[in-house]
Structure 1
Amino acid sequence: MKRMALPALVGIVLILCIAPAHAVEILRWERLPLAVPLMVGQERVVFIERNVRIGVPAELGDQLRVQSAAGAIYLLANAPVPPTRLQLQDVETGALVLLDIAATSAKAGQPPLEPIRIVFADALPQSRNTAAARDIDASAGMPDAEQRTSDAPGATPIPIVLTRYAAQNLYAPLRTVEPVAGIGRVNLQRELDLESLLPTLPVRARALAAWRLEDQWVTAIRLSNTSSRWIELDPRVLQGDFLTATFQHPDLGPVGDSTDTTMLYLVTRGHGLAESLLPALSRFDAAMNLPPAAAAGQVEGARDEK
């Protein structure tokens, strides 16, 4: 059974934009104020997926209620509000996002306003530009362009972009999944043997899908608990050669419970998942490397004990 709750991802710090089931209006922040119309008496949600402080002009008083929680901002106008600018400041970086709001009374038969999701231009890597920059750097003898891009302030690391994209494809409505330049679906061996992935845990693993961006792959793996106890998921128990590993949930509930299944996202560099797994361990036979006589004696001893 698949669990329905969507707690934060663990393993590496990733911000996943899991959109709600209804339609969402997407606004891109490119240092230009974003218009956010409001209707009196109707709450509008703005998903920003960052920890922000909200600056509200004091003159609004009781006209506007502003609340924030877990990367979402809730705006409710109790009376008409003239065009006003709100400032959202990223707590970690100090960067500002500007919202121009205005609240009017709803007209008869006017549908509710959709939630808004704010995306940032630096979150989408430009693969074509990166390739061009790599060619230029190669001819000039400069460091690899991909590494330079990853180190640039504000650049989103490719593993985060891939993992976020994979989680959106598996958990969010497809119409809300924003395309990312350069990401493509790759063929996946469905019956891939994953017994060596978590050999110390009573879980069943199955690879579901994989995507690629430049020289990195992300593979989504479904994990199911096969025991009657809770299992804590720790990326340190994973066996294999992985760039990053992220669990959708921090633990697995007992088999048969709604929490007994989750997703694992593994990012690899230079190849897919199959080449990153360790060889499966076969059952060990203690008599395998003994001389023939000793091996025969061990067998006879085992029979005598019976």
Structure 2
Amino acid sequence: MNGRLFSTIGVLLVSQLSAADLVHAQSATGIPPTLELGEVRTQPVEPNAAINASSSQVVRSSGSDLASESRPSIPGPEKRAGANSNPAPRKAKEARQRQVPERSVNAKPERIEFKRHPLKISLGNTERLVTFPNPVAVSLPSGAEADVDMQIIGRTAYFTMLAPRSAPIRVLVDDLVTGQTIPMDLLGVGAVDGLSSEVEVHYEDQLPADQQQVDRAEEQSPVLDMVQLTRYAAQTVYAPRRLKPLSDGVRSIPMDSKSIEGLFRGVRTRSRPIGQWRSGDLYVTAVQVVNLEGRSVSLDLEQIRGRWIAAALQHHHVLASGSDYDSTTLYLVCGQSFHSCR
């Protein structure tokens, strides 16, 4: 009787052990190259000025239409965010879940020196990080919360444009250590391809040593005006390698070469930046423009979208789409990089 009872208990123990092992196993598996520049249009309105060149002209034009687009909004009652402010629960949760944004084509941080003039930061559909020397507080104008998302963590401000906006948003940045106020314009451009996702702001006379050396070298180099800079770009694009120009006062700027639609009003074109150069405070970008119309067209510089100081065409007239001469090169001059001005 006892032997039978022990045998029965042993069978039950073996059955339970086999079932436990089974559960554990299941859980464990579980165009001709002629250098004939077109017209260069600039602002403000002045009498026509002739340039001593066989085929180049500089024509002055009014910039009133551009001024209305770039007028900053007037700050009203402000919403202030500081380095030690307590955001709403949703904002705090987003900050905790924040991931480092993807690097853009230009991974090196963009460096800006503050010299009393408002800083200009281009925003698109991606987040940009603006880092200051000290912890800061940022004041947004009334109503701007619907257009831009802003978070402050220590010395870094995180900005994302929530909706397209033609006019810049003026924000005030207060340095919590030095007490100075830094005006900053947030530009709602459509894309920031080619720009770094990170911006480093430095105060005057406080730039890193390597950047100070670069700035001193640029100050000692000759600075080209807009006509000379446009001619330099045209020669760089079309001239043979042995005849390409060299200038200590011009340096190449990396950028994204993604195609752009609708650069010209009233005509279907496809545009692609192919090079960008800087001399002093001026940038020039060479843009290949391809005619998508089934007919030949004459391109009008007045119909270019963007905030440009000057523009020039290699050829004004292009043939129908698909022909050998359905494209030309456009040169655009601006006080900032290409994607900040278009």
With the length of structure 2 as denominator, give the TM-score of the two structures.
0.38
With the length of structure 1 as denominator, give the TM-score of the two structures.
0.42
